[in-house]
A and B are shown apart, each in its own frame.
Chain A
Amino acid sequence: MKILGRPSLLIALTLAIVWALPLLSLLNNSLKRDGLGNYAAVVQQGGVVTSLVNSAIITVTTVVAVVFITSLAGFAFSRLRFPLRSVSYGVLLTGLMLPAGAILVPFAQLNRSFGWGNTYLAVIFPYIALFFPLGLLLLKNAFDNLPDELFEAAALDGAGVWRMFRSVALPLVVPAASLVALWTFLSTWNEFLLALLFLNDPAVQPVSVIPLRFQQQYFVDVPKIFAALLLSQLPVVILYIVTQRRFNLGLLAGAGK
């Protein structure tokens, strides 16, 4: 619904220059000196492509795991009754408040004891742990918002708990689950600190570490760094533009309860 008229649109349009210029600067810097040759050079080096593949593997695994475990738990916390339900839900949500940086030391120790040094698992499990609380919050809210009559009717048909979850509830929370998937995708793709510390081998490094690596590799050849940076942003920006209708962040607004 349109609320305000043209003057406000004009202001938003003018301000948009401030948002557009840095993006243009990214493009411009990546084309300096050798033009598109910068892109050819960084792609031929192979490192960028390997990193993109690594990011894809790490991200997709994390997203699938988070959506799976939070749908299950969100349903249980919303619709099932068991001892310590609200206490345990509250405890799980404290994970929302935890900066990854605060638990780097124990993460490193866990990785050592599991023998995960320089493998995808070294970051995948911490990512699942850090990103599932938000998914749990969103999905529990989504299950809460389903009408009770739906479950009562299914109960009369003799539906068991699995059927309640799989056939009755799950299909109706697809919008929330999509948001969880998209947000987890972005969080994982863009995560930097754990990837920097736990993945030292370029063969397993994701794209978020590229800036630092290329800074050392190309040092003064700044345009090549920017070409690599721009390439690393294409997947997330394209993903966003294609899926923006599913970015219903309004679901977060109901999350403060």
Chain B
Amino acid sequence: MSIATARRRPDWRRSPAAILFILPCVAVFGVFLAYPLIRNAYVGLFEWNGLTSDTVWVGLENFIWVFTSPAVFGTAVNTLVFGVITIALQMGGGFLLAVALSGPGRLRQVLRTLYFIPVVMTPVVVGFLFGKILEPNDGDLRNLLDAIGLGALNHAWLADPSTALVAVALVNVWLWVGFAMSVYQSALTTVPKELIEAARIDGARSHQLVTQVLLPFLRPTHWALLTLSVIGTLKTFDIVYVLTRGGPSGSTELPTTLLFRTGFEEYQQGRAAALGTVIFLVALALTIIQLRVARKGDER
């Protein structure tokens, strides 16, 4: 036996201490995420008002409700519309802002800061603020339009079922565009200078540089943002709750607001628990699909 093997210390990588390193996370996950999730799926099998200890076993009835109720179906449609508007504008706008504002200069720096400020603000506060701005009688938007002679454009945006969802989605874009901008901006700093210079030498015009060089180069960033945005859409609650509470007549109802209404205003905790379980599973499935597709693209 050689001296080297005789003197070899145990591989630090295989240290049993690993368990201690992961234990805090695993414990928190087990008690405050896994247990609640399992418990939730179990509560979904009962009819329960959440207040008393009277529970009635109803089997899969609540889950059947989730998949057959027009209210839940409505939230799926709303989520799709809300998600497409938000994600398209947030990622498209964020990308263009990042390209336009990348580079040195005080003005660019100030604008980057301005666009990001809503991201750090409390969504509930943003909701209140826009509730006041969009208020139909004395809101700031109305006063502004009146002042510049465009009073004819005034509309009760949040009270009209045909415009409320779009209005809420646009507020959400105001809130989040800076996030996408910032992610793209960091990613743009990794684009090799030579790539841009070579494109310029080849005579690429600005829009060609953007669409043919930068967009494809940032593919991993698009996917990361898309995945985060889809999860973010499914989690959206605060801003809708404050602006419209899901109304008028369900036109802005999202899965989370419906869940809150069902469980904590109508006291049907069994149904709410079943809905919560399904929302989680949908988010999980969508994320796995996106990661698969993104990875396939990378291999090509």
Give A residues with C-beta under 8 Å from B: 1-5, 8-9, 11-13, 15-16, 18-23, 25-26, 28-29, 68-70, 72-73, 75-77, 79-82, 88, 91-92, 94-107, 109-110, 125-126, 128-130, 132, 136, 155, 158-162, 164-165, 186, 189-190, 192-193, 197, 207-208, 211-212, 222, 225-226, 229, 232-233, 236-237, 239-241, 244, 247-257
The answer to whether B21 and A253 have CB atoms under 8 Å apart is no
10 tightest A-B CB contacts, nearest first = A250-B186, A2-B103, A102-B276, A129-B32, A106-B36, A76-B21, A256-B224, A8-B100, A97-B283, A69-B24
- A residues in contact with B129, CB < 8 Å: 22, 25-26, 226, 229
Question: What does DSSP make chain B's interface, helix, strand, loop or mixed?
Answer: helix
Q: A76-B21, A82-B14, A101-B237 are in contact. Are A92 and B121 (CB under 8 A)?
A: no
Contact of A104 among B13, B104, B130, B263 (CB under 8 A): B263
Task: Name B217-243 residues within 8 Å CB distance of A.
Answer: 220-221, 223-225, 227-228, 231, 234-235, 237-238, 242
The answer to whether B22 and A9 have CB atoms under 8 Å apart is no
The answer to whether A158 and B231 have CB atoms under 8 Å apart is no
- A residues in contact with B108, CB < 8 Å: 9
Asked if B264 is at the interface of the complex by the 8 Å CB criterion, the answer is yes
Asked if B125 is at the interface of the complex by the 8 Å CB criterion, the answer is yes
Whole-angstrom CA separation of A224 from B10 in the bound complex: 66
The answer to whether B196 and A1 have CB atoms under 8 Å apart is yes
Q: Which of B18, B118, B210, B231 has the most CB of A within 10 A?
A: B18
Asked if B133 is at the interface of the complex by the 8 Å CB criterion, the answer is yes
4 more contacts with CB within 8 A, not counting A99-B234, A103-B36, A103-B40, are A19-B118, A96-B231, A249-B182, A254-B224
Q: How far is the CB of A169 from chain B (nearest CB, A)?
A: 11
Asked if B1 is at the interface of the complex by the 8 Å CB criterion, the answer is no
- B residues in contact with A95, CB < 8 Å: 29, 33
The answer to whether A77 and B22 have CB atoms under 8 Å apart is yes
Q: A72-B21, A104-B263 are in contact. Are A253 and B35 (CB under 8 A)?
A: no
Q: Please, which residue of chain A has its CB at the minimum distance from the CB of B258?
A: A101
Q: A13-B107, A106-B43 are in contact. Are A189 and B186 (CB under 8 A)?
A: no
Contact of B21 among A5, A80, A244, A255 (CB under 8 A): A80
The answer to whether A80 and B18 have CB atoms under 8 Å apart is yes
The answer to whether A155 and B100 have CB atoms under 8 Å apart is no
Q: How far is the CB of A187 from chain B (nearest CB, A)?
A: 10
Q: A9-B108, A207-B122 are in contact. Are A99 and B99 (CB under 8 A)?
A: no
The answer to whether B280 and A97 have CB atoms under 8 Å apart is yes
The answer to whether B294 and A256 have CB atoms under 8 Å apart is yes
Q: B69-77, B109-117, B147-155: which one contacts chain A?
A: B109-117
Q: Please, which residue of chain A has its CB at the minimum distance from the CB of B190?
A: A250
The answer to whether A105 and B40 have CB atoms under 8 Å apart is yes
Q: A80-B21, A192-B122, A249-B182 are in contact. Are A16 and B117 (CB under 8 A)?
A: no
Contact of B33 among A16, A98, A225 (CB under 8 A): A98
- B residues in contact with A19, CB < 8 Å: 114-115, 117-118, 174
Asked if B159 is at the interface of the complex by the 8 Å CB criterion, the answer is no
User: In the complex, how many residue pairs between chain A and chain B have their CB atoms under 8 Å apart?
Assistant: 295
Give B residues with C-beta under 8 Å from A: 9, 11-22, 24-26, 28-29, 31-33, 35-37, 39-40, 43, 50, 96-97, 99-105, 107-108, 111, 113-125, 128-130, 132-133, 140, 144, 174, 179, 182-183, 185-191, 193, 196, 206, 209-210, 214, 220-221, 223-225, 227-228, 231, 234-235, 237-238, 242, 255-256, 259-260, 263-264, 269, 272-273, 275-277, 279-280, 283-284, 287, 291, 294-295
Contact of B272 among A12, A105, A247 (CB under 8 A): A105
Whole-angstrom CA separation of A5 from B25 in the bound complex: 47
The answer to whether A160 and B273 have CB atoms under 8 Å apart is no
The answer to whether B117 and A165 have CB atoms under 8 Å apart is no
Whole-angstrom CA separation of A110 from B28 in the bound complex: 13
Q: How far is the CB of A239 from chain B (nearest CB, A)?
A: 7
Whole-angstrom CA separation of A121 from B270 in the bound complex: 26
Contact of A3 among B99, B133, B224 (CB under 8 A): B99
Whole-angstrom CA separation of A251 from B118 in the bound complex: 20
Whole-angstrom CA separation of A100 from B187 in the bound complex: 30
Q: How far is the CB of A22 from chain B (nearest CB, A)?
A: 6
The answer to whether A193 and B238 have CB atoms under 8 Å apart is yes
